[in-house]
Amino acid sequence: MINPTAGDPVGRAAEVLSGLGPLALVHTPPLVLRGKRFDATAPAVMAIVNRTRDSFFSGNRHADLDSAKAALESALELGADIIDVGGVRAGQEGEAVDAAEEIRRVVPFLEWARGAHPGIVLSLDTWRSEVAREAASAGVDLVNDTWAGHDRDLVHVAAEIGAGYVISHTGGLPPRTDPVDVTYGDDPLDVVRDVVTTLADGAAQALRAGIAAERILVDPTLDFGKTTAHSLEVLRHTSAIASLGFPVLQAMSRKDFVGESLDLPAEERLEGSLAATAVAAWLGATVFRAHDVRATRRVLDMVATIRGDRAPVLALRGTRQAPAADAG
């Protein structure tokens, strides 16, 4: 940590200049789905379309088919790269949803989406292999397994249907379990070690199942199996996760660690979510699951530009003489 003092500013400047060099930024390999490439130069916004009545954020409840269709169209218009469709609330609150009901909620919608937009990248948020198998008819590009391989067949089904796969970390909890009295050890970094080890093991299993590395995402899965302190520690160490050599998904939008950090309800967590997004993007994550597509798109493009991975759309300031004032 640098702690500059005012005692010798000239000498300090010389020391600073002698140490200048390229920034040590992490760059992961690209994610490639349906022929589209996402990396540091083109980070991806994964828009959320929940086919549920009880999602924790009321602004993303689309049990009604027309509402879900409108949400997808809006997300694409606002700059979404991937559409992530789920049919079950993640936490233990809310209604019980069996596999048959989950299939009823998500598969017809995915089939409509593929027909309406043949080229879009579709992601299925599920932990059930039978749901993923039924979704093959829609040409699902990615299986977002948010419960860390609870269904051991899911990764194999993803490989069979030619989809990519999201490796997640839940601290060993089963689906729809909220964390209680979670510990990873006395060292605050123990949670980071557990996340990195679990994601590495999951990625190795996905490779063995036949999924290409360019279609594997690793997701530290903040909030899941973690306290707010755990999630913040893992977020600070996004670069360690990116150093595994796979593209990193961060799903942070309006989550509880944001709400508890600022003492705000889900409806008021946009700014906190965007701040977390900017930090994670700077540290090497390239795919972001988000409720607020346009704001997230702009944050990601700006961070990529600051990092030097993306050129400004315009670069005119200071490069040419301003037009002369009208003499009239």
d(CA 43, CA 89): 26
Residue with the two structure tokens 């009545």: 53
- 139-197 confidence digits (pLDDT tens): 999 999 999 999 999 999 999 999 999 999 999 888 988 889 999 999 999 999 999 99
**Secondary element (H or E) of residue 113:** helix 99-116
Question: In this model, does residue 292 exceed pLDDT 80?
Answer: yes
The answer to whether residues 221 and 172 touch, using CB atoms and an 8 Å cutoff, is no
The answer to whether residues 181 and 226 touch, using CB atoms and an 8 Å cutoff, is no
d(CA 66, CA 296): 24
Question: How much is the average pLDDT of 274-285?
Answer: 98
d(CA 5, CA 311): 35
- Burial per residue of 76-107, b for 16 or more beta-carbon CB atoms within 10 angstroms, e otherwise: bebbbbbbbbbbbbbbeeeeebeeeebbebbb
DSSP symbols for 72-99: HHHHHHHT-SEEEEE-S-SSSSS----H
Q: How far is CA 165 from CA 8, 185, 298, 313, 320, in A?
A: 54, 29, 26, 33, 48
SS3 for 101?
helix
Q: What is the pLDDT of residue 84?
A: 96
Of the listed ranges 91-100, 230-239, 274-283, the least confidently predicted one is 91-100
Average pLDDT value for the chain: 93
d(CA 109, CA 156): 23
- pTM for the model stands at 0.91
* β-strands 44-50, 82-86 pairing: parallel
CA nearest neighbour of 32 among 241, 246, 228: 246
The answer to whether residues 156 and 125 touch, using CB atoms and an 8 Å cutoff, is no
Radius of gyration for the alpha carbons in the chain, expressed in angstroms and rounded: 21
Full set of structural domains in the chain with CATH: 37-307 (3.20.20.20)
d(CA 295, CA 38): 18
Q: What is the pLDDT of residue 259?
A: 98
The answer to whether residues 219 and 246 touch, using CB atoms and an 8 Å cutoff, is no
